[in-house]
Structure 1
Amino acid sequence: MPIRSPYSPAHPGKANSNQWRLDDPEVDESWVTKINGAGNHSYLATKRSHDMLHVSRIYFDRAIDGHRKALEDLTVENIEAVYCTSVLVSFHALFVLSESEEDSTLPSLDPVQWLRLGKGTRFICSRWKELVGPSRINSSGVSYGLPSITNDSELFNSEHGKPFKGLLTWAEDFETIYSEDRKLYEQVINYIGVIYKCISEGNESELAICRRLVAMPSRNDPRFIDMVEAKQPRALAILAHLFACMKLIDYKVPWFRGIAERQIPKIHDELPVGWRPMLAWPMAITAGEVDREPAETQIDDILAL
């Protein structure tokens, strides 16, 4: 059965969608009448969008509060529900990164929140295995779906990270990278490289690539999140490239639309001036200056590696 719009004439209490009005004391009654009469809904649409966004964030905050309480007492009985909640709130935290931050009355949208929620999913899976054993958690469907995101040797193959090697070598003469941090950066770069390879070669569906993208926080070293939160330039530049990959497939995966446009320029502005050339490719992707069907040489050409 088709889903009926709550503002369609058939819906109780809304006799005519053209006569829709807000019960808001800030809205002048005569102005609403003029808008309805003229067939101009731009003001109401904007106001309604703001209100819906505000309400959605209130409910999201409530969901996070309840989720945190459940995390404090994980049991065999509740851990599957906690896992499902973790996945859902993680998806929500990612997809709302496309929303506007211009309204100061709304909470800020921070990719760190998405990254930390993804890390939480990884913790829940580990705890679930401890409680019920690997065989039972596998039978529950956690690992179902293609592509497989459990093969570390494939996910972090250094060959995949070659197009992004400049992210690892940029400014290395002026910045000391500890060996453990270098390995961490390499891991994330290789993971993004797998995603880029699948996009450029077209050997996976967009939904399969979506699975790889949303799993990024849970499949990489959690310390990367700390580096992003600390606004380490190399970590921010790497994250921008992940968002650029989302942009490459957002014409087929609508949940990603707007994320790159919102987040990449913000990262660009947060970077020291000397680091901004590292965002040339993500910025070009965002501006539509690079084809959606990327050639392997595009990154090298733009960064002149």
Structure 2
Amino acid sequence: MPPRLYHTKSRTGCARCRARRVKCDEAKPKCGCCVRHEVECLYDRTDRCKSLRPDATNVLDSVLHQAGTAAGQAAADNGIHTEELMPLMSTESRDRRYLELRLLHLWTTEVCQTLPGCYDPQNLKIWSRDVPKIALDYEPLLTGIFSISLLYMVFSNSQVGIPEAGLFAYRARYFEATVRHHRKALGSMDHRTANAAGFTSIILIFDAFASLRERWMQPIHPNMPYKPPTAWLQMCRGVRNVVALGLDMIGEDSDSSLSIIAKGASLFVDLDTIYSDANRAKFAYLLPAKADASLDGADYEAYTTAVAYIGSVAAAKEAGEEHPKISRRLAIFPTILHDRFLTLLDVPSPRAMVILAHYFALLYTLDGLWWVGNCPEKEIEAIKANLGSEWLGMMEWPLQIIRDRGQTFAESDNEK
């Protein structure tokens, strides 16, 4: 099973605890878990922060390649090349100051209220008050706020006196600056910058969600095979590692803003509850038979992990959990996926694509998520179009959700 989201589990715990993916207390010569189970305890790793730092930097390469390229392409598709904005972005000007003040105000008054978790007053205070203050001393966080606020302007149809094409172009430049400076800062990340680096990375997750909408801006050729958004999923998982590293540096018991946000998120990833038999059984038809001799054990675990988590979200929704909490669960999903599941999507595995369609169907049931928009419907339809007939029966649940939602919208229009 995958590690708990933002879990400060030791990266240098004993070999047995790491293999079981449980927290090791690192007691010497034997940790508490090994003492309790009366087994040998072996420590075979050192310097956890140093060993993680390369991953923290490498993942941002994926961010730049996937979301940054999409941002620049969106600007070009709208008729503006980002080089044309260089004078505005590289020199001080009244227009630039006015735009950035407007973006910061938009962030504090509107954008952060739309983030999963901000239904909690404490979280909302952190995102609207603490994070902007932290950003004044960490440029990547500040430009990250500007970048995602520009996307919010575009997708919420905010009237700011700037053409949509111009907003996309500004967004591309701010995003590029965020990634470039954040990658550089991660190379020297320590406990003083961990808080800011963690928040920058979390913002990049929601930027990645919103970038899925840009992925569909241009028509796809009818003969072009569907390519699952694996770069988005890989980036989300990598960002989780950056946040985990930051939490390691800050300290597990810290009362920092990042620690508070992470502890709140961890409540939604109770492994014993999520990966229960009941949650796996909810979409049992998505799982391969255990008796399938051709199935690799890692493949079965990857499928089971994803299906159980989706089942847990569906169960929470059926139990009447509020939409803001459901959206938080769904935002967490990309960060808990098994590494093997992403490999299966890259193949692509029809089963993995059908499971992903179920995830998008749950996203589609939520109203008002500007950073999601209508991309779930398009992803589901694209997955359906690229499956063999033998897999279409498994698509009935997500397709039914699309039909039900379409009927609801039609009835609402008729009432008007």
TM-score bucket of the superposed structures, by smaller chain: 0.5 to 0.7
Instruction: Give the aligned residue type for 2:375.
Output: I
Alignment of 1:223-262 (within 5 A): 223-249=340-366, 251-262=367-378
Are the equivalent residues in 2 in contact too, given 1:97–1:263 (CA < 8 A)?
A: no
Deviations 1:185-242 (CA, angstroms, capped at 9, x unpaired): 111111010111111221x111111111001122232332232233222211111110
Q: Please provide the CA RMSD for this pair.
A: 3.3
Are the equivalent residues in 2 in contact too, given 1:228–1:235 (CA < 8 A)?
A: yes
TM-score by length of 1: 0.68
Mapped partners of 2:394, 2:293: distance in 1: 15
Are the equivalent residues in 1 in contact too, given 2:302–2:338 (CA < 8 A)?
A: yes
Deviations 1:86-125 (CA, angstroms, capped at 9, x unpaired): 1111111113323462537xxx996323212221232123
Q: Does 1:76 align with 2:191?
A: yes
Residue 301 of structure 2: aligned partner? 183
Residues 192 and 83 of structure 1: CA distance in aligned 2, closer, same or farther (over 3 Å): same
Residues 127 and 147 of structure 1: CA distance in aligned 2, closer, same or farther (over 3 Å): closer
Residue 181 of structure 2: aligned partner? 66
Indicate the larger mover: 252-261 or 211-220: 252-261
Instruction: Give the aligned residue type for 1:206.
Output: H
Residue 282 of structure 1: aligned partner? 398
Residues 220 and 103 of structure 1: CA distance in aligned 2, closer, same or farther (over 3 Å): closer
Residue 109 of structure 2: aligned partner? none
Instruction: For CA contacts below 8 A with separation 6 or more, give which structure has more relative contact order.
Output: 2
Are the equivalent residues in 1 in contact too, given 2:228–2:346 (CA < 8 A)?
A: no
Residues 280 and 57 of structure 1: CA distance in aligned 2, closer, same or farther (over 3 Å): farther
Residues 198 and 62 of structure 1: CA distance in aligned 2, closer, same or farther (over 3 Å): same
Identity %: 24
Are the equivalent residues in 1 in contact too, given 2:195–2:256 (CA < 8 A)?
A: no
Are the equivalent residues in 1 in contact too, given 2:287–2:303 (CA < 8 A)?
A: yes
Instruction: Give the aligned residue type for 2:198.
Output: Y
Residue 285 of structure 2: aligned partner? 166
2:272 to 153, 167, 172: 153
Are the equivalent residues in 1 in contact too, given 2:209–2:232 (CA < 8 A)?
A: yes
Mapped partners of 2:176, 2:394: distance in 1: 35
Are the equivalent residues in 2 in contact too, given 1:96–1:109 (CA < 8 A)?
A: no
Are the equivalent residues in 1 in contact too, given 2:206–2:371 (CA < 8 A)?
A: no
2:230 to 112, 117, 121: 112
Indicate the larger mover: 253-262 or 50-59: 50-59
Alignment of 1:122-161 (within 5 A): 122-136=240-254, 140-145=259-264, 148-161=267-280
Are the equivalent residues in 1 in contact too, given 2:314–2:362 (CA < 8 A)?
A: yes
Residues 66 and 235 of structure 1: CA distance in aligned 2, closer, same or farther (over 3 Å): farther
Mapped partners of 1:287, 1:62: distance in 2: 41
Q: Does 1:267 align with 2:362?
A: no
Residues 151 and 163 of structure 1: CA distance in aligned 2, closer, same or farther (over 3 Å): closer
Are the equivalent residues in 2 in contact too, given 1:146–1:208 (CA < 8 A)?
A: no
Matched residue pairs, number? 242
Residues 243 and 191 of structure 1: CA distance in aligned 2, closer, same or farther (over 3 Å): same
Gaps of 5+ in 2: 1-98, 100-161, 220-225, 409-416
Q: Does 1:210 align with 2:327?
A: yes
Shift of 1:252: 4.8
Are the equivalent residues in 2 in contact too, given 1:247–1:260 (CA < 8 A)?
A: yes
- Report the structure, 1 or 2, having the larger helix content: 2
Are the equivalent residues in 1 in contact too, given 2:191–2:250 (CA < 8 A)?
A: yes
SS of 1:176's equivalent in the other structure is coil
Residues 85 and 168 of structure 1: CA distance in aligned 2, closer, same or farther (over 3 Å): same
Alignment of 1:15-34 (within 5 A): none
Mapped partners of 2:169, 2:291: distance in 1: 46
Shift of 1:147: 7.8
SS of 1:211's equivalent in the other structure is helix
Residue 16 of structure 1: aligned partner? none
TM-score by length of 2: 0.51
